[in-house]
Structure 1
Amino acid sequence: MTAAVAHDRAVVARRVPLARGYRFELVKLVSQWRIRLLVLACWVAPALFVAAVSRQSSLPVDTLFGRWMHATGWAGPLVVLGFAGTWALPLLTSMVAGDVFAAEDRLGTWRHLLVAVRSPRRIFAAKALAGLTVILLLVTGLACSSAAGGLVTVGNRPLAGLDGHLLAPADAAVGVLLAWLSVLAPTLALAAIGLLGSVVLGRSPMGLLLPALVALAMQLAQMLPLPLAVRLALPGYAFIAWNGLFTSPAQLGPLVIGVVVGLVWAVTATALAYALFVRRDFTNPTDDGSGRRAVVAGVLPLAGLLAASVGVVAAATSATGSGIEQDKVQRSLATAFAHLYRMQTEQLNRPDVTEAQLKATAACTKGGVGVAAAGPGNDWRCVVSWHLPGVEATGTAVYQLDVTADGRFVADGDGPKEVNGYFLVRTPTGDAPNPLWQFDGNVELLPDTPKG
């Protein structure tokens, strides 16, 4: 009789399967009004934004690919991606992952949950998977909605890359897809940091803000004159490294490093959060995190990971300084100019010419006399030269360059007027935007590698 009762109790005390716990946590998340609003906003707002901006006479030319929103529907999702990596995704991870454990502390429901599930490990896994699902749903909404808005409003047209070459609509679609997939790595890193903050800081509001604060700190770091190896080792570098997908050949080195670093941070922060969660004393209702535990178990391991990442990246890439050097800037500018010159030639209905025939070169200086032509800044001045078949005279055009620390530059035409001195060109069908007046480019930051 006693054995039968013990057997019945064992059956009753059976742990809840992970799949059932995951469904329960997912329903809890989706039932919150703020999560529902986020899902609705991510699936609707980007399409409306892209459609509205694409119909405006003035475009966000200070945003990467913003100047092409009139020309192709594939520019819209890239503009939204630039904004999302800076602001939207850090805030979304804060709202979801930063509160997934802290909510139980505020409500005082840990003991009830443990009695129902009977496994801290499964509780952690269910909550982490539910948060991951919602974050993926939000990111997918941003990507799909912005692409739909652009394609419906502007159309499925070619996209000019960051070296001036035209990507066919199919290639542009692949590039946009890969760009959005690449930012999943830093998004997961911020989500994992949010999980860690939610576990360590408990009901403190700092846990909810932690991913956004980390993202803000990384943005500030990108503005400082830090060595390239330090920039690449930051877990959010893939938020900007996707630029390299839109050059030919693609500049994949920084992007691959950024994705790997982001995934390593995601795994490490999640493992720290798991180790702390399963060791927590749930019998003490006041044990919801402490400053000392936050430093010892959270800040110090991640600081060590950052230091190790810097060392590994520096040793693996031989990256020194800013990575922005005179010859790289000249080569990138000349390549982009040659591609866009062909586009202007087609607009003006002139005889076609190839990049090889143009033999475009650039000579750049930075700052005043005696200043080394290296590093970011808005004081780059370049003269582009090219040759036309059958013409002895050498064509020249002047550009002022603003080069940012991540290698992106904006080339602003400074004459002659017939080439790049005016924002419109007069074509047989009417005035059209001059592709050589102002354009974006990208400098390969890593040392040159042999090409086969």
Structure 2
Amino acid sequence: MTATLTEPGTPGTPGAPEAAVRPASVARGYRFELVKLVSQWRIRLLVLACWIAPALFVAVVSQQSDLPVDTVFGRWMNATGWAGSLVMLGFAGSYALPLLTSVVAGDVFASEDRLGTWRHLLVAVRSYRRIFAAKVLASLTVILVLVAGLAVSSVVGGVLGAGDNQLVGLDGHLLSPGAAAGQVLLAWVVALAPTLALAAVGLLGSVALGRSPMGLLLPALVALAMAVAQLLPLPVALRFALPTYAFISWEGLFTSPAQTGPVLISVAVCLVWTVVATALAYFLFLRRDFTNLSYDGSARRTITVGALPLVGLIVVAFAVLAAATPSLGSGVTQDKVQRSLSVAFAHLYRLQTDELHRPAVTEAQLDVTSACTKGGDLVPQEGPGNDWRCVVTWHLPDVATTGQAIYQLDVTSDGRYVADGDGPKEVNGYFQVRTPIGDQPNPMWQFDGNVELL
């Protein structure tokens, strides 16, 4: 029996009888698409890896003496389990999450082209719109399961390997285990925003490029290009206009007070990207030619409907941020570096005082100030670089002399810096300090900091 379709834009045969066959519901289509995804061996392998591998990695590394100190929070992995989850988050944002979105969202439509199963699916569901919704929801569900696995597994491995201890923030202040748990969870939630944006790009590539492998690679390539761009000396407004900046902005949550401005801006940019890229994918999907079994996408339509609107998003976001905030420079200025270093030094000095069982002192009593210079006199005193040299000055109660310490700073373009103690040795040199969780390096020897670019 021939059936007519009740929705515009759905496949059908003219001249059908009056009794129309209703399209399958979105819920049934969603269950069907979810079963198809989960039945794939590579998806099952990814789910298994995301729920097991992070725990093993974090637990093993936490027991090593050679820690990944070049990664933010890496130097604290054997002191607290919460640091391990944040190290895994940094790795996931750079590598794992873009690849996961490519494998799931970048292939959810293209797989039908490769297998030649579009006609069977269209006959079974009888609605373009419901097919699109079901595939989007199924891919989103799998991605959420994968991200949840990375987060939960890394936390479990960290707590088992290093314990549920307090965490040292990026400005030297201490977070209790409960506060650290909340901030770590929030950081993973923030990382969901750019993951969704890349997933939407994957949907767009999967629809626009058909059987072409470029659709599968598109989210990873976009993430790689934007990661390279973040390494360049770009204006702050342009950094925030890229959706992948949210993979970095969560670091501002671990200062006191938290740097919520960059986090909110980057999440908002990601959500706009998610909506626009998904809408473009939907627009292209409704105009697909499903009679062509060798469809590899239309280059002209992919550029005009897919790529150019997303580039336009970057331009618009850059213009809005440049007009709303003073963010046309690098964001790394002499005053910001000095202020950030002073705050971190004061917090860490108190931590060192407590670990060495010296008389307690407050930040107000220390009255820490910093004087930083970058390169020589002819070099502008701003911008990233490893040539920042700072002299920190502080005072102790009832002590006439003023203390001074020297630090060499390596400031990256995203505002993160590593401070390396350069004397005096008894203040910021290397030596072991006995703590309740075991011997740890002097907390003032080397530490990570963060300059708020806005």
Deviation at 1:284, TM superposition (A): 2.6
Report the TM-score when normalising by structure 2.
Answer: 0.95
Report the TM-score when normalising by structure 1.
Answer: 0.95
Counterpart selection for 2:277 from 269, 272, 279: 269
Deviation at 1:352, TM superposition (A): 0.4
Distance in 2 (alpha carbons) for counterparts of 1:13 and 1:283: 22
* 2:407 pairs with 1:399: yes
Which stretch has the larger CA shift, 12-21 or 106-115? Answer: 12-21
Which amino acid is 1:101 matched to? F
Deviation at 1:12, TM superposition (A): 6.8
Aligned to 2:153: 145
Instruction: Tell me the secondary structure at the aligned position of residue 38 of structure 1.
Output: helix
Deviation at 1:424, TM superposition (A): 2.6
Deviation at 1:429, TM superposition (A): 11
Deviation at 1:78, TM superposition (A): 0.3
Instruction: Tell me the secondary structure at the aligned position of residue 419 of structure 1.
Output: helix
Which stretch has the larger CA shift, 28-37 or 277-286? Answer: 277-286
Deviation at 1:13, TM superposition (A): 2.3
Aligned to 1:235: 243
* 2:19 pairs with 1:14: no
Distance in 1 (alpha carbons) for counterparts of 2:87 and 2:431: 21
* Contact 2:77/2:84 (<8 A) preserved: yes
Which stretch has the larger CA shift, 428-437 or 196-205? Answer: 428-437
Instruction: Tell me the secondary structure at the aligned position of residue 244 of structure 2.
Output: coil
Aligned to 1:223: 231
* 2:76 pairs with 1:68: yes
Aligned to 2:217: 209
Instruction: Tell me the secondary structure at the aligned position of residue 211 of structure 2.
Output: coil
Which amino acid is 1:389 matched to? P
* Contact 1:349/1:427 (<8 A) preserved: no
Report the RMSD for the aligned CA atoms in angstroms.
1.6
1:16-415 superposed matches below 5 A? 16-415=24-423
Which amino acid is 2:254 matched to? F
Deviations 1:120-165 (A, max 9, x none): 1100000010000000000000000000111112111110000000
Q: Which runs of 5+ in 2 are unaligned?
A: 1-15
Q: 1:214 to 1:19 in 2, by over 3 A?
A: same
Instruction: Tell me the secondary structure at the aligned position of residue 441 of structure 1.
Output: strand
* Contact 1:228/1:319 (<8 A) preserved: yes
Which stretch has the larger CA shift, 25-34 or 292-301? Answer: 292-301
Distance in 2 (alpha carbons) for counterparts of 1:432 and 1:56: 13
Deviation at 1:423, TM superposition (A): 4.2
Aligned to 1:449: none
Q: How many residues align?
A: 440
Distance in 2 (alpha carbons) for counterparts of 1:95 and 1:281: 24
Task: Report the identity percentage.
Answer: 74
* Contact 1:349/1:428 (<8 A) preserved: no
Q: 1:153 to 1:429 in 2, by over 3 A?
A: closer
Deviation at 1:368, TM superposition (A): 1.2
Distance in 1 (alpha carbons) for counterparts of 2:438 and 2:36: 58
Distance in 2 (alpha carbons) for counterparts of 1:236 and 1:46: 22
Q: 1:431 to 1:111 in 2, by over 3 A?
A: closer
Which stretch has the larger CA shift, 148-157 or 251-260? Answer: 148-157
* Contact 1:186/1:238 (<8 A) preserved: yes
Which amino acid is 1:16 matched to? A
Which amino acid is 2:201 matched to? I
Which amino acid is 2:35 matched to? V
Deviations 1:209-255 (A, max 9, x none): 00000000011000111111000000111000000000000001111
Which stretch has the larger CA shift, 363-372 or 288-297? Answer: 288-297
* Contact 1:234/1:261 (<8 A) preserved: yes
Q: 1:12 to 1:24 in 2, by over 3 A?
A: farther
Aligned to 2:441: 433
Distance in 1 (alpha carbons) for counterparts of 2:230 and 2:354: 39
Deviation at 1:10, TM superposition (A): 6.1
* Contact 1:348/1:428 (<8 A) preserved: no
Distance in 2 (alpha carbons) for counterparts of 1:217 and 1:263: 19
Instruction: Tell me the secondary structure at the aligned position of residue 381 of structure 1.
Output: strand
Aligned to 1:450: none
Distance in 2 (alpha carbons) for counterparts of 1:118 and 1:235: 35
Distance in 1 (alpha carbons) for counterparts of 2:251 and 2:439: 30
